[in-house]
Chain A
Amino acid sequence: MSTTYLEAIREGLWEEMERDPNVFLIGEDIGAYGGAFKVTAGFFERFGARRVVDTPISEAAIVGAAIGAALMGLRPVAEMQFADFISCGFDQIVNFAAKCRYRWNASVPMVVRAPSGGGVHGGPFHSQNPEMWFVRTPGLKVVAPATAYDAKGLIKSAIRDNDPVLFFEHKALYRRIKEDLPSEEYTVPIGKAKVVREGKDLTIVTYGAMVWVALEAAATLAEEGASVEVVDLRTLLPLDRETVCQSVRKTSKVLLLHEDTRTGGMAGELAASIGESVFEHLDAPIVRVTAPDTPVPYSPPLEDAFLPNAEKVIAKARWLFRY
């Protein structure tokens, strides 16, 4: 039976809560209501108020309480109703959680789930991709799955990890993609990118919902005779530079793609890493396809113009092939 991306996250959470009594959920409207996106529907009935903790509208308290519980040996999974609201818990994440181990050798085995991304007409405060605020904070781990398989495997790994993990789940994927998942238990390792399509002429490096845009572009380009490799980062911190560089060594051309805005985005860090490590393998400039440096607009024509899509990727890829 096919499982959606959203159901995959739910299954991963459920299995971990069944497996480990120290795992509990904390967030706004996650209990009786089942969460704004219904990821935790049914959990309150199964696990009760002790393990599914509904909170006041208090992101700093949600994250802070998760940190405190994690320091005491529990494994909290905190839900931000939208990733956009994570800024209200920013200090707790970047100054408290991220630095505990380095400063005083204290483990914070906490997960913060953050439904992120555009394409849902959510406007400036329900569409953002705030992952880079955290990617440049040592001590955090940041994951952003693109598939149902990875979503389930990574949420399970995140819960078992002894460091704080931010789990960016893309809202536009929740119910749009599905696949058959293994019936046996599995996890997906944090810190490992994956080549999701093999090719020899161009590497597209991306993550999250843009993996599907890259695959769509690659399919179209294949019809034109171009062979495109797609690397899904899956984890943004720690970053798997080796898989990226290995692919670039093979294809000699690279297009960096993300839904996040341009300046200070992941593409910049990747470009620098590629330049440092495999410059002599490059046959063309490193190019980026990203959202522009604006807030995420609401109206469909504006949001469509904001978001990267296959058409924009194909145009840049053709330019690279002509180079």
Chain B
Amino acid sequence: MSRAVATTLHQNWHADPQAELAHKCLYYMSLMREVEDRIERKLYRQGKIVGGVYVGRGQEAIPVGTALVAEPGDVLFPSHRDMAVFLIRGVTPGRIFAQYMGRAGGVTGGRDANMHMGDLNRNIVSIISALAATVPVAAGAALALRYQGSNGVVFSYFGEGATSRGDWHEGVNFATVQKLPVVFICINNQYAYSTPLGLQMACANVADRGPGYNMPAEIVDGNDVLAVYEATRRAVDHARSGNGPYLLECKTFRMTGHSAHDAAHYVPKDLFEEWSKLDPITRFEARTLAEGWGTQAEIDELHAAVHREVDEGVAWADESPYPDPATLLDGVYESY
């Protein structure tokens, strides 16, 4: 559990397990939102981020609701809008800011940008830009977990656009033939760059692809963190019990352009308005109050703590030096 959770835990938050879970959900969704807001709306505009920025605003319930289910031995393959996966696994906001700023303190030390980061000590594998390419790799990681006698499960994240690619199908087919312990998590945010769903696939749902692989598939409200959490538990139980892969389609909406430079003029305005009413954080705060899992004062306190943590992270990243050009040739091979 991160420092901030520990410091903001109020008596009531862990009065019962459900309240404790609610607190974690709210904390990590808020932290992801704040980290990404700071990256996109401050650091990027200040020119401190030299490369691309792709955020998951409005989609926070998916990485949070899924990754909170993961056991330490489970291996996670987050996609480019799944920031919370890193936060839940203990990567600090400071290292993430430094990653975006190309600093030595970033997760890849300036070798790669934005969400292109991984850490095998935390069982997180990095994406590459061709996003579906991680799907067969995730299948291979699951093959290894079974080979090693572990009961670990692999979480393979991707957008709906990735499911158009051949390597997505090859990876899913291999995983289902081998009955590997993989949960395939589709973040269906309805746009792949500017391409809407109807130009991406002829079926109505990504979940419709499941039966072709004899794979159970479930559609879940991707803006309801507890719904995602519960569905993930079903999926993980299925995979961990040796029944093979499970496809979870989390329906959501991309509340931004593809990247920070994309104003998304191609998205009808009323869709943004409609989906903003379903914001996962606002919704979950209302639920938290209604269920009595926390008070408004406690929620305010949580947000204040998140702000402080993010401020500290930005300051830390700003202090981090740029990588030394003398290290350019290092690490192409283990020793060469």
Contact = CB atoms under 8 A, between A and B. Distances in A.
A65 interface: yes
Contacts of B75: 72
A65 to B, nearest CB: 3
Nearest to B126: A104
Contacts of A50: 147
A139 B333 contact: yes
Interface in A155-198: 161-163, 191
Contacts of A65: 136-137, 139-140, 143, 171, 174
6 contacts: A68-B143, A69-B140, A74-B147, A101-B331, A107-B334, A141-B333
B143 A58 contact: no
Contact of B133 (A64, A138, A141, A162): A64
B177 interface: yes
A61 B111 contact: no
Contacts of A139: 332-333
B148 A72 contact: yes
A106 B120 contact: yes
A42 interface: no
A320 interface: no
Given A71-B137, A76-B140, A103-B126, 6 more contacts: A56-B177, A68-B137, A92-B167, A100-B126, A102-B332, A104-B119
Contact of A71 (B120, B167, B334): B120
Given A53-B143, A74-B147, A103-B108, A95 B136 contact: no
Interface size class of A (residues with CB under 8 A): 35 or more
A105 interface: yes
B187 to A, nearest CB: 20
User: Of B112, B125, B173, B336, which is in contact with the most chain A CB atoms at under 10 Å from its CB?
Assistant: B125
A200 B173 CA distance: 57
B144 interface: yes
Interface in A100-139: 100-107, 138-139
Contacts of A163: 333-334
B201 interface: no
Interface in B118-158: 118-120, 125-126, 128-130, 133-145, 147-148
Contacts of B334: 101, 107, 161-163
A162 B333 CA distance: 8
Given A65-B136, A65-B139, A138-B332, A60 B147 contact: no
A275 interface: no
Contacts of B134: 96
Interface string A73-105: 110100000000000000110011001111111
Contacts of B133: 60, 64, 91-92, 95-96
A24 interface: yes
Interface string B30-70: 00000000000000000000000000000000000000000
B116 interface: yes
B250 interface: no
Contact of A60 (B117, B119, B141, B170): B170
A61 B144 contact: no
A91 B125 CA distance: 17
Nearest to B177: A56
Nearest to B172: A61
Interface string A8-50: 0000000000000000100000000000000000000000001
A69 B178 CA distance: 14
Contacts of A73: 144, 148
A268 interface: no
Contact of B145 (A60, A72, A76): A72
A154 B290 CA distance: 67
Given A60-B136, A99-B128, A106-B118, A69 B170 contact: no
Nearest to A108: B137
Contacts of B141: 68-69, 71-72
Nearest to A163: B333
B292 interface: no
B228 interface: no
A61 B120 contact: no
Contacts of B107: 104
B72 interface: no
B166 interface: yes
User: Of A65, A102, A107, A191, which is in contact with the most chain B CB atoms at under 10 Å from its CB?
Assistant: A65
A103 B112 contact: yes
Interface in B177-224: 177-178
A101 B126 CA distance: 11
A277 interface: no
Contacts of A210: none
